């Protein structure tokens, strides 16, 4: 295939943040990922999930290639070289002496030619399996063989060689200096070094300076270069002509690759820290037609990021959604991991649609057309609506856009009204969701929703029977009867029927 983009699609820089980001805490994840690559402006790439199975699999293949150290190192080195070029070009804008500006452009071109050539060589000899990187490697070799690149590379090397051959003598007298042609004079450096060698101390600090690291040029240095250019005008004239012809020398497709490939590298670098903690990641099986889903040992990536510094353990959870099942109804005690479980489901689907490894040991996922979330919010005084009315308005807006392929993540809605009204509204909303054949997760305190019909699945967050105040944060597939938590508390205080009877018999 002809190479255009390693992301396989055009993504504008003004791509809006998806509605689900704050509720799923994906904004925290993307911010953490993009921070280390802020100059690449990666956020828009994370705001545009794919819907096409083939393109998602192409991205998965690219990410797999980048998990090979040799390929990742080569591309990371290339990225660093492109960053160096960007610094050189930015530096030029701050310089006032023309020869100095021209010199940094030449240095940028030489770095660019080296970077492109080395990357092409490494990718051609590495075990690249993805269509994306194979196509880019082919593009690189075609580019290297074009007259445009050959002329750029040859001219830059020729001018650099000519400039390196220049020799001149600098005579300093009090407050003046003379620049003249080099006439085979003996350099003073070896003689001075020999005189002072006897004063050398092994442990004395070094005052040597790498002159190439100094970016500035003062007016005296600029005048010296000007006089040297008068003595040897040919190389400097060639340099001036070269700069005039190659002010914009970076190929736009290569520039685009340099930015887009960081999308993969930044994410893989981000999840590497969690892999070191033995948290699992996998490339999910994906489908746009098969609604059967399986997840093993999944977890909330945003929570793992928040807990990383404390090295706190992360609880892994499973779920299955087998047709005709549509909605996972999650119930259980407060602070039991229900919302975290719901976020996990949303994150898994979103990251899968980006073509990236997902936080789970194994996953088979349906790719939705949209992911809509509804989490509890504080009342907004600007809309003059009560909390219940605001929730109903928000749900109506979501349901208007919901299709049979939409993933819904609903968390603790209708809390602001009575149990009777919340039950009535929830059943009505559930009926509409099921009619529209949408799928997803609903965290609720209303157990009845999990027993409506074969389209709903009961998931329950467990409690520790020995200590109900402790939460194992496990969410399992089992019937919700509303008594699990109450039974655990009763058992703790020895108030179950069996425990009371036992005490009575002893008395």
The rounded distance, in Å, linking the Cα atoms of 442 and 410 is: 5
pLDDT over 70 (residue 486): no
Please report the sign of the dihedral spanned by the C-alpha atoms of residue 472, residue 478, residue 480, residue 483: negative
The rounded distance, in Å, linking the Cα atoms of 113 and 239 is: 17
Domain assignment present for residue 353? The answer is: yes
Residues near 501 by beta carbon (within 8 Å), at least 6 away in sequence: none
Contact 71, 78 (CB under 8 A): no
User: What is the pLDDT confidence band of residue 12, given thresholds at 50, 70 and 90?
Assistant: very high
| pLDDT at residue 139, as a whole number | 97
380 and 257 in a common domain:
no
| DSSP class per residue in 470-484 | S----EEE----S-H
Q: Give the rounded distance of the alpha carbon of 396 from its chain centre.
A: 33
342 and 373 in a common domain:
yes
Look at residues 52, 68, 173, 63 and name the one whose alpha carbon lies nearest to residue 127: 68
Domain assignment present for residue 187? The answer is: no
Domain assignment present for residue 463? The answer is: yes
User: What is the pLDDT confidence band of residue 176, given thresholds at 50, 70 and 90?
Assistant: confident
Classify residue 185 by its DSSP letter.
Answer: P
Contact 412, 23 (CB under 8 A): no
Residue at which a domain ends, from 227, 261, 295:
261
| pLDDT at residue 485, as a whole number | 47
Predicted confidence (pLDDT) per residue in 402-434, tens digit: 999 999 999 988 877 888 888 999 999 999 999
pLDDT over 70 (residue 379): no
Predicted confidence (pLDDT) per residue in 238-287, tens digit: 999 999 999 999 999 999 999 999 999 999 999 999 999 999 999 999 99
Predicted confidence (pLDDT) per residue in 461-484, tens digit: 987 666 666 678 899 999 986 655
| pLDDT at residue 39, as a whole number | 87
pLDDT over 90 (residue 104): yes
Predicted confidence (pLDDT) per residue in 125-149, tens digit: 999 999 999 999 999 999 999 999 9
316 and 421 in a common domain:
yes
CA atoms within 13 A on the CB side of 442: 25
116 and 31 in a common domain:
yes
The residues with which 475 forms a beta bridge, in sequence order, are 461
Domain assignment present for residue 402? The answer is: yes
| pLDDT at residue 282, as a whole number | 98
Residues near 211 by beta carbon (within 8 Å), at least 6 away in sequence: none
362 and 257 in a common domain:
no
Query: Tell me, what CATH number does 404's domain have?
Result: 3.40.50.300
The rounded distance, in Å, linking the Cα atoms of 58 and 47 is: 18
Domain assignment present for residue 230? The answer is: no
Task: Using the structure block, give the residue that is written with the tokens 């390929």.
Answer: 71
359 and 256 in a common domain:
no
Domain assignment present for residue 212? The answer is: no
257 and 372 in a common domain:
no
Structure pTM? Answer: 0.87
Look at residues 111, 50, 107 and name the one whose alpha carbon lies nearest to residue 258: 111
| pLDDT at residue 418, as a whole number | 84
Ordered alpha helix ranges (H), 218-337:
219-231, 233-245, 252-275, 301-307
Our count of domains for the chain comes to 2
- Tell me the three state secondary structure of residue 328: strand
317 and 256 in a common domain:
no
Q: How many CB atoms lie within 10 A of CB 44?
A: 16
Over residues 137-163, the mean pLDDT reads: 97
The rounded distance, in Å, linking the Cα atoms of 339 and 300 is: 10
Region of poorest pLDDT, from 55-69, 132-146, 176-190, 438-452: 176-190
% of the chain residues with pLDDT over 70 = 91
Domain assignment present for residue 205? The answer is: no
pLDDT over 90 (residue 304): yes
Over residues 79-102, the mean pLDDT reads: 94
Look at residues 371, 348, 372, 373 and name the one whose alpha carbon lies nearest to residue 285: 348
330 and 254 in a common domain:
no
Average pLDDT, the chain: 90
Indicate the angle between helix axes 252-275 and 69-92, nearest 10 degrees: 130
404 and 341 in a common domain:
yes
Contact 143, 112 (CB under 8 A): no
Domain assignment present for residue 286? The answer is: yes
438 and 338 in a common domain:
yes
For 293, the domain range is 280-506
| DSSP class per residue in 44-107 | HHHT-----HHHHHHHHHHHHHHTSHHHHHHHHHHHHHHHHHHHHHHHHTT---HHHHHHHHHH
CA dihedral of 358, 359, 361, 363, whole degrees rounded to 10: -50
Residue 503 or 355, more confident: 355
Longest dimension (CA), the chain: 118
The rounded distance, in Å, linking the Cα atoms of 431 and 437 is: 10
Region of poorest pLDDT, from 91-100, 345-354, 358-367: 91-100
Over residues 2-21, the mean pLDDT reads: 95
What DSSP element (H or E) covers 375? strand 371-375
437 and 291 in a common domain:
yes
Q: Give the rounded distance of the alpha carbon of 311 from its chain centre.
A: 22
């Amino acid at each position: 295939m002809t190479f255009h983009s390693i992301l396989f699609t055009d993504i504008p820089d003004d791509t809006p943040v998806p509605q689900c980001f704050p509720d799923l805490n994906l904004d925290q994840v993307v911010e953490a990922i993009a921070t280390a690559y802020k100059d690449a402006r990666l956020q828009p790439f994370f705001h545009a999930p794919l819907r096409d199975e083939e393109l998602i699999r192409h991205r998965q293949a690219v990410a797999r290639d980048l998990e090979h150290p040799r390929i990742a190192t080569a591309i990371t080195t290339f990225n660093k070289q492109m960053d160096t070029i960007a610094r050189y070009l930015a530096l030029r804008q701050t310089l006032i002496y023309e020869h100095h500006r021209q010199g940094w452009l030449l240095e940028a071109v030489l770095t660019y030619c080296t970077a492109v050539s080395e990357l092409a060589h490494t990718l051609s000899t590495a075990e690249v399996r993805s269509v994306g990187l194979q196509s880019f490697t082919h593009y690189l070799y075609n580019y290297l063989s074009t007259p445009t690149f050959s002329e750029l590379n040859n001219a830059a090397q020729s001018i650099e060689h000519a400039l390196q051959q220049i020799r001149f003598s600098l005579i300093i007298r009090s407050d003046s200096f003379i620049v003249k042609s080099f006439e085979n004079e003996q350099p003073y450096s070896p003689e001075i070094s020999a005189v002072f060698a006897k004063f050398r101390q092994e442990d004395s600090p070094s005052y040597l300076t790498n002159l190439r690291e100094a970016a500035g040029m003062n007016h005296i240095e600029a005048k010296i270069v000007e006089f040297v250019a008068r003595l040897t005008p040919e190389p400097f004239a060639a340099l001036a002509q070269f700069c005039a012809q190659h002010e914009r020398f970076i190929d736009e497709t290569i520039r685009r690759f340099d930015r887009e490939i960081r999308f993969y590298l930044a994410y893989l670098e981000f999840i590497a820290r969690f892999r070191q903690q033995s948290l699992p990641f996998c490339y999910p099986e994906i489908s746009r037609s098969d609604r059967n889903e399986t997840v093993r040992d999944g977890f909330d990536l945003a929570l793992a990021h928040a807990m990383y510094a404390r090295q706190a353990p992360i609880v892994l959870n499973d779920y299955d959604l087998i047709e005709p099942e549509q909605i996972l109804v999650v119930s259980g005690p407060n602070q039991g991991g229900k919302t975290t479980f719901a976020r996990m489901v949303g994150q898994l689907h979103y990251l899968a649609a980006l073509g990236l490894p997902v936080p789970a040991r194994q996953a088979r996922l349906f790719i939705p057309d949209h992911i809509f979330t509804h989490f509890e919010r504080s009342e907004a005084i600007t809309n003059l609506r009560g909390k219940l009315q605001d929730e109903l308005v928000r749900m109506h807006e979501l349901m208007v856009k919901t299709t049979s392929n939409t993933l819904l993540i609903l968390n603790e809605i209708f809390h602001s009204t009575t149990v009777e009204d919340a039950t009535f509204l929830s059943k009505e909303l559930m009926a509409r969701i099921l009619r529209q054949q949408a799928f997803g997760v609903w965290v609720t305190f209303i157990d009845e929703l999990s027993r409506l019909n074969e389209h709903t699945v009961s998931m329950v967050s467990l409690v520790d029977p020995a200590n109900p105040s402790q939460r194992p944060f496990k969410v399992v597939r089992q019937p919700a009867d509303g008594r699990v938590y109450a039974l655990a508390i009763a058992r703790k205080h020895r108030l179950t029927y069996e425990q009371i009877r036992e005490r009575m018999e002893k008395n």
